[in-house]
Structure 1
Amino acid sequence: MLYVDGMNGLISHNETVQWLYTLVGSKFRLVVKTSLKLLLVFVEYTESNAALLIKAVNTVDTKGGKKLWSNVMEILEEKDGVDTELLVFAMTLINKVRKYSFNYY
């Protein structure tokens, strides 16, 4: 995802962004961590990508009949094994999307 051609391909293919967001809801910690990191790189690549992530989240969670951002919220609400690294990545993603999306909404 760090290559320009790959990032431009990702920007033009929202289904892949939806898939990455879906992986945030995985039960496997490493999958969740990697997905969050990749989504952070995606959002930080250009500010307009925040709107694309919001669109992907809306699509995935609406189809699943869930509240918006439910996959990320489950990480933040987890009470059992508190994984501070996942909490930091989840909050950073939310803050970046919030920061960049103010320019578009």
Structure 2
Amino acid sequence: MTTAIPAEQAVCRTSITSEPISAQDAVALARQLKALADPTRLRLVSMVAASESGEACVCDLTEPLDLAQPTISHHLRLLTDAGILSRTKRGTWSYYRLVPGALQGIATPLAAG
């Protein structure tokens, strides 16, 4: 006769089969996720990614979002600091583009392998 073990006494036998994210990588990933965890910043990333030339001028991003240029620049700076966008300056305007592989680099550590 087999005796059932109460659930609270059962031993956890879960094994980790792949390499978990390191503490240092978790800090970097959290910074990127925090930068993306804002509706305006998500829209900005989407707009830059959808632009025909692969880049967008800050001057072209203010009207669609109905926000002032300093507010847009603040959001773009956070995305740039997080390594999601890169910036080039041309005259008085800044142009932004996605950092190659940045979005994939965010998704990969979170994807089930």
Tell me the TM-score normalized by structure 2: 0.29
Greater Rg by CA: 2
More helix by share: 1
More strand by share: 2
Per chain length, whose mean CA-contact separation is higher, i.e. which structure has more relative contact order (CA < 8 Å, sep 6+)?
1
Tell me the TM-score normalized by structure 1: 0.31
